[in-house]
Structure 1
Amino acid sequence: MPSNVNAKSVTRNVGWSVLSKTGTFGLKFVTVPILARILTPEEFGTVAVALTVVQFLAMIGGAGLASALIIQRDEDMELIHSAFWANLVVSLMMALGLFVFAEPLASLLGAPEASHLLQIMSLLIPLQLAGDVAYSLLARRMNFSKDAVWTMLSEILGALIAVGAALLGFGVWSLLAQLFVSAFIRLAGLYAVSGYVPRFVFSARRVLSLCRFSFGMMGSEIANFVTFQSPMVVISRYLGLSDAGAYSAANRFSSIPNQIVLSAVMGVLFPAFSHMGEDRQRRSQALMLSTQVTTVLLAPMMFGLWALAEPAMLVLFGQQWASAWPVLGLLALSKGLLTPCSTYIPYLKGIGQGTTLFWWAVIRAIATTAAVAYAAIGGSLVEAMIALCLVNLATLVGYSWVVFRADQLPFLRGLLISVRPLVSAFIMAVVVRLLLDHYVTLLPSAVLQVLVGAAIGALIYLVLVLVTERSLLAKLTDMVRSRGASSSVPSAAE
């Protein structure tokens, strides 16, 4: 691991990662509504179901080897080459298996018409896994800026091609074009900036040495994947492709704020926490500060989207999707509840708590799948989303207990600090929702409702943060002032 992990390096890399995610999901902010107006819910649902299978197999194929490379003390080229070839062979076998069994898999998922898409999209598996090793080298070097540039470039070109193809009438093929173009460009970029060149070197013994860590990570990632994707499978099977399309469109849009910040922060914090080694006090400070900052930033976005879901759905997706606004609102609420958990996973990975992370991920996956399935079988899509909110609330409490126990922090004190911004954001959202409901006749335009509601909500939340988060704001102010004098103060590495 690099020896210069400090406030400056962490902040710089988080900044680049956030910039990358902002560009990527900013494109989704624009392209998803455009594509939703051109394509049908059934087309969205078909591709979403097929992509779920591809992403799941790609995760299994990687087997966590790239994550294991990140925490290695040195860059052992024999080990790196061996991991590359192991990834490639497994990914090709996965792609072949998906191609052969595409039809029964599609039928099992309740979308038999997606079988031909599964066969085509099987090629995405080796395209994704072939770049894992190159990315792991950038991550362990804390060099996220180069990956950020190529990620943004790949997403920009993929989005442009998707919109162009959709406007030309290519339908579902426009979504496939976006996936393949983005994957090809990012793969080429990763090799260009990492400087990695695969060589015909392989040691089965060296690959097995990574398996203890990688299998634990694979298990937790698979469980997390089931958590995130099982609602799509359940909805498509029991409620139909139309509801699956509505869920997919709402889920993709409601995920933008979280994925801009959280995926960027998680990617940087994992190697950063690993580098902190046995310095528990430093890790503890970093955990609490990073949790507070991400929650303060993201909670108002997610809860605010819940408050403005009805006019936002009409403005962004058009009249044909207007009835799905409760789905968008409840998805935003469910994701907002998990905001404090954003730093918990990289923390547990960084301190070597892979077993704990695995079992809690499994519990969460089972609870999510069971709750959504129960609600979908006996009810509607909205009831399934309510069930998801309840599970995520329980997940917040459970993960907080695990992490604060591992960090030797008082549970109630840590939970109170972590969820305080959630309470402020929820109060803000409820007030905005009530004001819009009461004065909706004064704002007949959905665009005006969104703009006015966002402005009122921002003002209310700012006041609440100034009142409830004074200690956090003071700490951040001190860090900014002292950053020029010293970039390696332990508390600043938070």
Structure 2
Amino acid sequence: MSQHVNAKSVTRNVGWSVLSKTSTFGLKFVTVPILARLLTPEEFGAVAVALAVVQFLAMIGGAGLASALILEPKEDEETIHSVFWANLGFAFLMAAGLYLFAEPLAGWFGATDAAYLLRLMCLLIPLQLAGDVAYALIARRMQFSRDALWNMISESIAAIAAVILALAGFGIWALVAQLFVSGVIRLAGLFFVSRYLPRFRFRLDGVVRLTRFSLGLMGSEVANFVTFQSPMVVISRFLGLADAGAYSAANRFSSIPNQIVLSGVMGVLFPAFSSMMHDRQRRSQALMLSTQVTTLLLAPMMFGLWALAEPSMLVLFGHQWAAAWPVLGLLALSKGLLTPCSTFIPYLKGSGHGGALFWWAVGRAVATTAAVAWSAYSGTLIEVMVALCVINALVLVGYSWVVFRVDGTPFLSGFYLSIRPMLAAALMAVAVRYALDNYLAHHVHPVLQVGLGIALGGAIYAVLILVTERPLLRKLLDLARPSRAKTVAGLP
């Protein structure tokens, strides 16, 4: 790493990453419901299925080489350029394969009419992989503050373009344009921030050396991808594009809190944990602190969305989607159950426990896909969401056991500390839901239901956190003080 990693640098970079996501939150909060009102569930479903295929192939094409590059002890120009050209070569091979086999793939996913989308969106694969090396350099140098502005610009312009095109009557092409506009601007920003310019240099032995390490990372990333994307594929195949569209719209909206917090936190924590690979005490303390903080931030958003799903769906998405409110609520609940696990992937990757990460990711992918497939084959979309909640509750316990065992932390004490903010959020959500069902729903307009529910939930959660998390709050206050920032969480 070119920059010494300490509590102050990690906190600053996490702050910038989260800020870049938060700045686009308001825009996405508006644009997702607008697009849902203007487009049909089938259009949402077709794009979502095509994007899942593209992202999967892009992940395989990258082979985890960029992630391995982050862990290199120093920046070697020949290795960096070699990884770039290897990534680009794999990307075009994957894109060509997708173009040729678009029709049978679309048919297998139960979306035969979406073959033309697969052929067009195959261009997203080289567009995405061309920026992997530049992002790896940014992550190595912990320069997330410089990357934040370009991320905000790309997401904002793409979202605005999608809404304009949807209003102009372009239908499904509004969603496709959003992906390409964001990808092009994001790629330009990555090259600008990293100051990386590809040169035609290629050394096979350097790629082979990185590949030996990266295959383990790629395997776990593929398994995690299957975990997150298999519900969309299964729903499309067994329940049809309309249900896939309802799931996609609800998933887009319920994922906004994760996009704000996790995408900012996880990108920083991977290189940070890598720098602590041989210091167990610092690594363990950083794991617990980051887990508690992400749970403290994310859990109330996800459980609160579960409590307010019914009026929120009506207010934000309109009557066309109102009946899908249980899907939104159960999706938010399933994601909320996993908030304590948010830091586990970067921890296992950065601390050199790729084997544990791989086998756990494979087991989780198999269990999630099997549970979703069984419930979709024999039931409805609601039953699929219930199955996700059940499997994620089991994942929470199992994943925590794996990570705390690797870390050497006693399971019961570590598990209790990590889920305590989540328990407070769950109690808050139950109280808000009770007030909504017994008082607010009968006397208050849906818009006011959402507003009053947020205010009530925020007050209840604040009181519960002040009572239960005083040691954590004191630690965070200490971290904010310059004179003591370096001693918090064992980071020098």
TM bucket (normalised to shorter chain) is over 0.9
1:312-351 matches, cutoff 5 A: 312-351=312-351
SS at the partner of 1:320? coil
Matching of residue 221 in structure 1 with residue 221 in structure 2: yes
463-472 or 133-142: which moved more?
A: 463-472
Question: What does residue 75 of structure 1 align with?
Answer: 75
Question: What does residue 91 of structure 2 align with?
Answer: 91
Question: What does residue 429 of structure 1 align with?
Answer: 429
Deviation at 1:50, TM superposition (A): 0.5
Matching of residue 292 in structure 1 with residue 300 in structure 2: no
What amino acid is the match of 1:39? L
Question: What does residue 454 of structure 2 align with?
Answer: 454
Determine the C-alpha separation between the residues in 1 that align with 2:187 and 2:323.
39
Question: What does residue 48 of structure 1 align with?
Answer: 48
> Does the CA-based 8 Å contact 1:106-1:115 persist in structure 2?
yes
Question: What does residue 489 of structure 2 align with?
Answer: 491
Question: What does residue 138 of structure 1 align with?
Answer: 138
Question: What does residue 396 of structure 1 align with?
Answer: 396
Determine the C-alpha separation between the residues in 1 that align with 2:151 and 2:430.
37
Determine the C-alpha separation between the residues in 1 that align with 2:441 and 2:193.
55
SS at the partner of 2:398? helix
Determine the C-alpha separation between the residues in 1 that align with 2:124 and 2:184.
9
Root-mean-square deviation (CA, aligned residues, Å) is: 1.2
Distance 1:24 1:216, change over 3 A: farther
Question: What does residue 257 of structure 2 align with?
Answer: 257
Determine the C-alpha separation between the residues in 2 that align with 1:76 and 1:473.
42
Query: C-alpha deviations, 1:136-182, integer Å up to 9, x for none?
Result: 00100000112211111111111111111100100001111111111
Question: What does residue 129 of structure 1 align with?
Answer: 129
Determine the C-alpha separation between the residues in 2 that align with 1:429 and 1:189.
40
Determine the C-alpha separation between the residues in 2 that align with 1:173 and 1:434.
42
SS at the partner of 1:319? coil
Instruction: Mark the runs of 5 or more structure 2 residues left unpaired by the alignment.
Output: none
Question: What does residue 11 of structure 1 align with?
Answer: 11
> Does the CA-based 8 Å contact 1:46-1:114 persist in structure 2?
yes
Query: C-alpha deviations, 1:65-116, integer Å up to 9, x for none?
Result: 1000101110000100000000000000000110111000000000000000
Determine the C-alpha separation between the residues in 1 that align with 2:406 and 2:50.
38
Deviation at 1:258, TM superposition (A): 1.4
Q: TM-score, normalised by structure 2?
A: 0.98
> Does the CA-based 8 Å contact 1:24-1:151 persist in structure 2?
no
Determine the C-alpha separation between the residues in 1 that align with 2:229 and 2:28.
19
Matching of residue 29 in structure 1 with residue 29 in structure 2: yes
Deviation at 1:440, TM superposition (A): 3.0
Question: What does residue 150 of structure 2 align with?
Answer: 150
Question: What does residue 240 of structure 1 align with?
Answer: 240
Deviation at 1:489, TM superposition (A): 2.4
Determine the C-alpha separation between the residues in 1 that align with 2:458 and 2:195.
44
SS at the partner of 2:486? coil
Query: C-alpha deviations, 1:262-312, integer Å up to 9, x for none?
Result: 111110000001111311111111110111111011111100100000000
What amino acid is the match of 1:218? M
- Work out the percentage of aligned pairs sharing the same amino acid: 71
Question: What does residue 208 of structure 1 align with?
Answer: 208
What amino acid is the match of 2:144? F
SS at the partner of 1:74? coil
Determine the C-alpha separation between the residues in 1 that align with 2:104 and 2:148.
38
> Does the CA-based 8 Å contact 2:479-2:488 persist in structure 1?
no
Deviation at 1:212, TM superposition (A): 2.0
Query: C-alpha deviations, 1:21-63, integer Å up to 9, x for none?
Result: 1233433211110000000111101100111100000000011
> Does the CA-based 8 Å contact 2:478-2:488 persist in structure 1?
no
> Does the CA-based 8 Å contact 1:479-1:492 persist in structure 2?
no
Matching of residue 408 in structure 1 with residue 414 in structure 2: no
SS at the partner of 1:489? helix
SS at the partner of 2:74? coil
Deviation at 1:479, TM superposition (A): 2.4
SS at the partner of 1:10? helix
Aligned pairs, how many?
492
Matching of residue 170 in structure 1 with residue 170 in structure 2: yes
What amino acid is the match of 2:59? M
Determine the C-alpha separation between the residues in 2 that align with 1:44 and 1:461.
34
Deviation at 1:441, TM superposition (A): 5.0
What amino acid is the match of 2:358? F
19-28 or 189-198: which moved more?
A: 19-28
What amino acid is the match of 2:434? L
> Does the CA-based 8 Å contact 2:54-2:122 persist in structure 1?
yes
